[in-house]
Chains A and B, each alone.
Chain A
Amino acid sequence: MMLEIKKLHATVDGKEILKGLNLSIKAGEVHAIMGPNGSGKSTLASVLSGRDGYEVTSGEVLFEGKNLLSLQAEERARAGVFLAFQYPIEIPGVTNSYFMKASLNAIRQARGEPEVDAMDFLNLVKEKMALLKMDPKFLKRAVNEGFSGGEKKRNEVLQMALLEPKLCILDETDSGLDIDSLKIVAEGVNSLRSPDRAMLVITHYKRLLEYIVPDRIHVLQDGRIIHSGTKELADQLEEKGYDWIKEQAA
């Protein structure tokens, strides 16, 4: 099992958001989590990636059988967990190129691989950029600074492609994307699907799941997964909303 979440409870500012969440994802699988606003989707992403301000009150999360929650955020990244941010952070004064190279080398070092030099890095990153139809000029710009919404999301997937994580968590990667950008981003994500990589796609809308077709869809409601199904579930949710599941679950 790549990821096992067992009876996870988490609070933000003392308020319980996750209330006994269970979820297991095998390597090679793509799972989607859907749910209305405030159901706890982004909290789950934050808890998994180790962001400050989220307190796990009970339950456990195993990543490849090991306790994920005891690791610092950077240790999780080095172990192979990647979060594509819903709102990628701007870092004025640090170039995208430097940022990605430092990141890649930190992760390679953790894997026991040699650091890449400037030349190899450039070749590698340009190859990945072509995949996402990104202009190489983005390398010289400050991280996400002044990027459009679509450019920021592409930059997230670019980092994902570069770092080759084991578990990719995509937090509302479709938000703020026009249809062309969505297709490009989805293609980028799909190109990373592989038997030894798992993905957790968090989204509000069915639209993204037309391009990144999941193996399983889970409905998150009030901090718990109340229903799971195959990709057809997305159509039902689109058609009927969330209330019928709520009723069924109750």
Chain B
Amino acid sequence: MKTNLEKIFKSQAEASHAWQQDFRLAGLKSFETQGLPTTKQEDWKYTSVKSLAETEFKLFEGAQEEASIKEDTLIQEEHYQLTLVGGIYQPKLSKLEGLPKGVQLLPLSQALQSEGDFLKEHLAKSLDARQRPFVALNEAFLNEGLFLKIEDHVVLDKAIEFCHVALSNGLASMSHPRILISLGKNAQATFIEHYTSVAGTQASWTNVASEFLLAEGSLLHHVRLQEESEANFYLNSSMTTLDQDARFNSFTFDLGAGLNRQEIIASIEAPGAHVALKGLYLARDRQHTDFQTLIHHRKPYGTSQELFKGILSDRAHGVFNGQIIVDPHAQKTASELTNKNLMLSREAEVDTKPLLKIFADDVKCSHGATIGRLDEDQLFYFQSRGIDSHLAKHLLTYAFAAELLSDLPWESLTAPLTRKLKSCLNLKDEVA
């Protein structure tokens, strides 16, 4: 990967504003300085990027193949949609019409032209690339992605779906989408990220970096579904900053990619903000899935709840590294962090480390992690009622996961996500 990076970098069209070109160059320099992470680094201890490093990637060159991509939307209801294929914006697969006043939803390439001042002021201000080589690389290839800006007090009537289709033609390709969302005071929105891929092509690599800026009293519901092909690499770093009384309610559903690594950070920067992070990861075969989460309570009266569940089968490997930090003056913080893993095979592996770093003395925080197998008594109960052990195992696995799908922000999401879960577990639709 490293060998041809500079060449690929130079092959990009020059950015239209000087600051943008500087931004990219700084990203490239930062990446080169940092180098690729190694398993000697604490937060990369269990995740090797060797296979990623050994693959020669190029930027996707939009051939006509995108025409063959059928619209793969997650929700059936009317919604706004912005679609990238191989990292390239697809107006025909997007629905941006009818946006209410006070809402700007644009492909990032357009926003870089028309919203340059705003972007210059906010881009990469919360998500720090200095300890994150892949975020630095994302900066180096700043070009496309999603820009959403909602003015004060605007409540978006429909959900927004960002659909990213990974695609390689010939050589392995990479895509570095960048997302910036800014919610004004008391604004509300539902944002769905959907990562998928076209099967049967070369491996590809999706390297996302996102920043969600939530102003006072705003509310962002967020769902991320990652279901790329098992041949693919998927990296994502997202940073959410919350002003006073803002709320971030996020659910990450991870099914795909051979190597998945997601870093999810939320920073409570004013009193009274609330963060709910939920996640579900299913890994099979030799999939490797790694979640690094951090909720940083910097100010008092913040609350956070985090629940991640993993289901690991075959020779899959899961990593969960969840951190809660409570700063010295972030008194009256209430925080819960839980990670539960269900191991369906003896060869599967999980490394979990929930960690609290509390520097305040008047807080209510708890954390815990479990790693377990299916309960033998429960299986026997099913069998004693005539239900075969195979179906019983799938049902118990489904029951383990279904809790996370029970209170999604957009009701119409429950059905499609439940269907995804059931099809992963080879269960019929009618179940439970």
Using CB atoms and an 8 Å cutoff, list the residues of chain A in contact with chain B.
49-52, 72-74, 76-78, 82-83, 85, 88-89, 91-95, 98-100, 102-103, 106-107, 110, 142-143, 159, 163
Contact = CB atoms under 8 A, between A and B. Distances in A.
A127 B333 CA distance: 51
Contact of A103 (B377, B385, B398): B385
B399 A106 contact: no
Nearest to A53: B376
Interface stretch (B106-114, B165-173, B346-354, B388-396): B388-396
A73 B399 contact: no
A50 B398 CA distance: 25
Contact of B400 (A78, A93, A103): A93
Contact of B380 (A52, A92, A159): A52
Given A50-B384, A89-B377, 5 more contacts: A73-B384, A77-B386, A91-B399, A93-B399, A106-B387
Contacts of A100: 385
B33 interface: no
B386 A92 contact: no
B386 A94 contact: no
Interface string B378-414: 1011111111110100011011101100000000000
Nearest to B375: A89
A211 to B, nearest CB: 24
Top 10 closest pairs, chain A to chain B, by CB = A93-B399, A103-B385, A73-B383, A77-B386, A106-B386, A89-B381, A74-B383, A107-B386, A98-B432, A78-B386
B388 A74 contact: yes
Q: Is the interface of B mostly helix, strand, loop or mixed?
A: helix
A236 B431 CA distance: 51
Contacts of B378: 89, 91
Nearest to A77: B386
Nearest to B431: A98
12 contacts: A52-B376, A72-B383, A72-B389, A73-B383, A73-B384, A74-B382, A77-B385, A77-B386, A89-B380, A92-B399, A93-B400, A107-B385
A49 B383 CA distance: 9
A147 to B, nearest CB: 13
A57 to B, nearest CB: 21
Contacts of A85: 381, 384
A83 B432 CA distance: 23
Contacts of B391: 102
B311 to A, nearest CB: 13
A22 to B, nearest CB: 24
A74 B395 contact: no
B222 to A, nearest CB: 24
B403 A93 contact: yes
B273 to A, nearest CB: 31
Given A52-B376, A102-B391, A93 B432 contact: yes
A103 B382 CA distance: 8
A88 B384 CA distance: 11
Contact of A99 (B385, B388, B389, B403): B385
A73 to B, nearest CB: 4
B387 A103 contact: yes
Interface in B406-432: 431-432
A180 to B, nearest CB: 26
B403 to A, nearest CB: 6
A64 to B, nearest CB: 17
A163 B400 CA distance: 27
Contact of A91 (B381, B384, B388, B389): B381
B381 A106 contact: no
A159 B382 CA distance: 12
Given A73-B383, A106-B388, A107-B386, A93 B377 contact: no
A34 to B, nearest CB: 23
A235 to B, nearest CB: 33
Given A91-B396, A94-B395, A77 B381 contact: no
Contacts of B402: 93
A110 B398 contact: no
Contacts of A72: 383, 389
Contacts of A95: 432
B386 A110 contact: yes
A120 to B, nearest CB: 15
Contacts of A163: 385-386
Interface in B153-168: none
